[in-house]
Amino acid sequence: MTTAHQHLASFIETITAERGVAANTVDGYTRDLEDFLSHLRANACVLTDITPAQITTYLRGQAEQGLGPASRARRLSAIRQFMKYLVAETILDENPAFAVAGPKRERALPKTLSVVEVDKLIVASETMIDAASGKDRARAIRFHCLLELLYATGMRVTELVSLPRNVLRGDTRLLTIKGKGGRERQLPLSGPARSAINRYLGLTPDGAPDPNTPVAKQSKWLFPSSSAEGHLTRQRFAQDLKELARTAGIAPERVSPHILRHAFASHLLDRGADLRAVQQLLGHADISTTEIYTHVLEERLKKLVNEHHPLATR
């Protein structure tokens, strides 16, 4: 009679040979399923008679032992794949794991930066302009423009670097862009962002050419480059942003275009902005995506109370 561990060995051999599963994945499946089979043996459960309730009991026990939602979801996935194999081999009539609901995974809070830290980045980029000359100064002016635009609008980095040149036509206080799914939205421009654009394009505040400022070369893109796309790549901008973080005294791993997008949204909500308005500015199709930022504010309030309320430590 074939034992449960022999069935497991056959399953591992099958996914290794036929599916080309990576070695780390195979090791993970093996550890997870051996633990599950040990649980069945300890509770006198027979593999061929396994029920959804027994799988649920196993996962509940794992949670009580401190295994996190992500790890439990991975184990359930391994069990489902193993049961699916047993059904294919006619060892089981149906897959009992399909009836088991996966654990709810806690939504990770978005990483963000404080207003002071964003200010440090902006000041550092201004300093780079003052210290540079020639082509280096032109690049520093372009980078500063990108930084101001990103923090002023909360655009996705792909939306930012691929802005068309004609996006500046019309009202200079607004940008009309197309985001995910071709959805169009309008983004107000702050005074500093408009000034950064003027300097980048070689214009004075009144829109006249400034002979002391490099003019962006003519292109259909606002931020052209020699890349295959014809515009600055998001990877290059992200690299430059991390270099700026080092200059500003901020850990580079804490700074990215997406984290600045998070900062934009968090700082707006922190100052009383309406959640629906922030949703529209970010270009989220579903407000539930935007609601994650309210959790950031909740965590800040909890920290504030715990650190400063006189009764918090009692």
H helices of the chain, in order, are 4-18, 23-42, 52-64, 69-88, 115-131, 134-153, 157-161, 191-201, 234-248, 257-270, 275-282, 287-290, 292-308
Which of the residues 7, 75, 156, 262 is marked catalytic? 156
- Could you give the CA distance from residue 147 to residue 143 in angstroms, rounded to a whole number? 6
Two tokens, residue 190: 């702050």
Q: Which residues of 112-123 are buried (b: 16+ CB within 10 A; e: fewer)?
A: bbeeebbebbbe
Which of the residues 180, 236, 254, 302 is marked catalytic? 180
Which of the residues 5, 137, 139, 258 is marked catalytic? 258
- Could you give the CA distance from residue 47 to residue 92 in angstroms, rounded to a whole number? 9
38: three-class secondary structure by DSSP: helix
Residue 180 a catalytic site member:
yes
Residue 258 a catalytic site member:
yes
Two tokens, residue 73: 């979801």
Burial class for 82, CB neighbours closer than 10 Å (0-12, 13-18, 19+):
buried
Which of the residues 7, 75, 261, 262 is marked catalytic? 261
Distances (CA, A) of 97 to 5, 47, 160, 204: 18, 12, 45, 67
**DSSP character at residue 198:** H
Two tokens, residue 27: 């090791």
Which of the residues 29, 85, 200, 293 is marked catalytic? 293
Residue 156 a catalytic site member:
yes
- Could you give the CA distance from residue 260 to residue 116 in angstroms, rounded to a whole number? 13
Work out whether the CA dihedral 174, 179, 185, 190 comes out positive or negative: negative
Residues labelled as active-site residues = 156, 180, 258, 261, 284, 293
